[in-house]
Amino acid sequence: MMKPEAQDASRLRVTSVAGALYRAALLALCVVAALLATINLPYAPRTWFDEGSHLHVPKTLVQYGKYADISATPDGGVEFRYHGPTIGIGPTIMVPVAAVYQVAGVGLLQARLVIVVYLVLALFAGYVLARRLYGRWVALLALAFLLASRTINYEGIVEYGRQVLGETPGVAFVFLGLLAWRAALETAAQPAMRRSHVMWSMLAGLGFGLALVTKNQFVLIIPPALLLAAALDWRYYRAGSWMLRLVPLVVSVACFGIWTLAQFALLGSGTFFENMQQTRQAAGGAIFVFNIRSTLRAGYYLLRPDLFGGLVVPALAYTLWRARQRTPQALVEALLGLLIGLWLAWFVFASLGWPRYAFPAVALSALTVARLVADAIAWLRRVLPSAAAVAAVYAAAIIMVPLALTARVVFTPDDSAQRFAAYLNASVPPEAIIATWEPELGVLTDHRYLYPPQPALDRAVRHQWLGGDPVVYDWYSSRPEYVVIGGFGGYTGVYDTPELAQSYVKEQQIGDYTLYRRKPQ
C-alpha cells in the first residue's frame, strides 16, 4: 500500500506534468496564432470590394478632412458620399486606421495591422472568458476552436482578422463586455465592493456599446439579449443587482445613440436622413429578408460538419440546459446562450443567409462547443473509454482541418491587386477617369475612380442572392477614358454592356482585373 507521502508526491508529479503540458500547448497555440495573423498580411486574403470601400473613409478623412466615401465625378471633380461604408462599420475602426495613415501613410498593410491588433484582442479576451467560465483546459480548447472557426468554403476569425472588416473587432468588444459583465456579477452581492460593481457594470456597457458602434448588425442582438438577461435575473436567477440589470443596457444603447447623434452633427440633417434611408434599404435587401431559400441556405451552413463538426446548435442547446441552475455561473452562460441564440435565429429566419453574417455567433460558439466537447469526452471516458478516444480524434480533426485550410490561405498570397495597381501607376495618367466597381483600387492608387451610386449595391445583392431585377447603371454616359473590371464588377455584370465591346479595347489583364481603354474617336 502506498504511503500518504508517496501519494502526495505522485499527485504533485502528475500536476506538474499536466501544468507543463498545458503551458506547452498554450504556447504552441499562441505561436500558431501569431504566424497565421501576420504572414503575407498584405496579400492573403486578396483585398476585395468590402475592404476597399471601408478603407475609402479613413483615406478621405486624412486627405480631405471628410468622414465620407469618395468617388470621382464625370467632369473630373470629387464627390463625397456620406453613406454606405460610413455606416457599415464605425469609428472604432475608421479612426484608428486614419491615425495610422496619418503617421505611416496610406496603405493596405498599415490598415490591416490595425485589425490584427483587434484579432489578438479577440483571441485573448475569448480565452480569458473561457478560462474564467470553464477552467484552463476548456479555455485552451476554446482558443483552438476560435482559430479553427472557418469552413471549407467560408472564412473564420483569422481570415476576417486579416482584413479591414467589422466582424473581428466587434467580437473582441463583445468578449470584453462579457468579461466585465461577469466581473460585475461577482461583485453584486458584496457591499464592500459596490464601487467596483458600478465600475464593472459600466465597463460591461462600454464593451457592448463599442460593439454596437463597430458594426450595426450587433444592434439587432446585444440590446435584446441584455434585456432578456435582466428579466431572467429579476424573475428567476436573482443573482445580480439592478445596477447590473440596467447599467450595461443603458450604457451600451447610449454609446450607439451618441454615435448616431455625432453622425447627425457631422453629416448634416439632409445627409443623415439619406443615411437612414440607405440603411432601411440595405435592411430590406440583406438584414430583414424572410426568404425561404435564404433560411435553407443559412440552416445548412450552421449544420454542416466542417463548421465545428456540426456542433454549433447542439452546443447552444447544452449551454441553455446548463443555464437552468439558479447560480451566477448559470446566469453568465444564459447571457452567452442568448447572444448566440438570438444571433442564429436572426441569421436563419430573417437575414440573407450570407455565412459572414453568422460569424459573430460562430466565434462566441467556440466557447460553448469547447465546453460540450470537453464534457462529452469526460463522460465517455467514464462509461465507454473507446468511444472517448473516437470523440477525441473527432475533436482534433474538426480543429486541424480548418487550421490547415486557413494556413493554405495564409501561405498562398495573391498580389494581383498590388501588381495591377502598379501597372495603373505606370501606365494610366493620374488625372484620367477610371470607371470601376473595385473600390480596393482607390486605396492602392490615387487615380480618379468613378464608382456606381451606392443604391446600386443593394440592387446588385438582391439580384445575385434573391433573383431580383438586375442592376441598371448607365456608366457609359460619362464617357470614361478607362474601365476596370475586377471581381465585383464581373460578379455583378454592371459593365457588361454593348458599349464596352463597341467603344473600348482591352489593354491589360492581371489576375481578375482587366483594364479597358476607350478607342480613339
User: Mind giving me the DSSP string for 453-490?
Assistant: PTHHHHHHHHHHHH--PPP---GGGG--SEEEE-HHHH
348: enclosing H helix or E strand: helix 328-349
- Tell me the torsion sign for CA atoms 89, 40, 491, 512: positive
Q: Which of 204, 391, 202 is nearest to 314 (CA)?
A: 391
Cell of 66: 471628410
Structural domain boundaries of the chain? Answer: 1-38, 113-410, 416-518
d(CA 210, CA 269): 24
d(CA 507, CA 208): 50
State residue 276's pLDDT score.
59
d(CA 69, CA 439): 10
Spans of the chain below 70 pLDDT: 1-15, 267-286
159-197: burial string, b at 16+ Cβ within 10 Å, e else: bbbbbbbbbbbbbbbbbbbbbbbbbbbbbbeeeeeeeeb
User: How many angstroms from the chain centroid is the CA of residue 92?
Assistant: 13
Cell of 168: 473581428
